[in-house]
Structure 1
């Protein structure tokens, strides 16, 4: 009896370690990539590295923990989006709206953020090392 319980516990532990946690909704990822529109979508933890999301509508989307490395978000609308702990390293996000976005702990290293609007965004712990922020607007509301 103890041996059966031990082997069950070991099997469950192995599965929980081997199975990566992915929270994004695959249908939302497909919708975004096909149409460029996915307001209020669950894209948390999604791998969108290198994606061409020019002018994308991602208002109020959940992109927490998402990988957007080298993505093109030029002209995208991310107003109210949750990008907490998202990786936006080397992203091109010029003329992008991040109004009221949650950017806590987001990684913007070496990002191109010219004319990006951060009005009301929470940037606590965000990493902007090496980012180009020409005419970016960080005003409080």
Structure 2
């Protein structure tokens, strides 16, 4: 399925473990509850995809575009996210234990309660807005961190 065009598909609860989806277009795709354990998603377009509660442990997401993706509660333990674009992604409660985020872009990502235990954060762009969404107040505190 390398290079497949699956834009906007509903793949909720699908078992795509160890599948080669490198370079695929999965933008706007619904993958909530799916299993992509060990899948190859390198260079894939995953922009605004919904990966809520999805198992992406050990997946290759290097150079993938995950901008504005929803990864709430996703398991990315041991995943390769080198040079991945996670700009404005929602990583609330995501598990990134021992994930490799070398050269990743997490600008404006929402990381409330995300677990980065033993994650590799070399040269990561962590210019974030940390805020709790509220109807009356959407402003947040700016935090800029540079890891080299």
TM-score (norm 1): 0.77
CA displacement, residues 27-70 of structure 1 (integer Å, 9 cap, x when unaligned): x99xx838621100000000000000001100000000000001
CA RMSD of aligned residues (A): 2.1
Is 1:39 matched with 2:17? yes
2:70 aligns with 92
Partner of 1:95, secondary structure, is coil
Structure possessing the higher radius of gyration over alpha carbons: 1
Written as runs of structure 1 = structure 2, the 5 A alignment for 1:1-141 is 24=2, 26=4, 33=11, 36-140=14-118
Instruction: Give the whole-Å Cα distance in 1 for the aligned partners of 2:58 and 2:103.
Output: 18
Q: Which runs of 4+ in 1 moved over 4 A?
A: none
Aligned residues: 116
Q: Gaps spanning 5+ residues in structure 1: where?
A: 1-22
Please identify which structure carries the higher strand content: 2
TM-score using structure 2 length: 0.73
How far 1:100 moved relative to its partner? 0.2
- Greater share of residues in helix: 1
Q: In the aligned structure 2, how far is the partner of 1:135 from the partner of 1:40?
A: 28
Deviations 1:53-98 (CA, angstroms, capped at 9, x unpaired):
0011000000000000010000000000000000000000000000
Q: 1:124 to 1:34 in 2, by over 3 A?
A: closer
Alignment partners' CA distance in 2, 1:60 and 1:98: 10
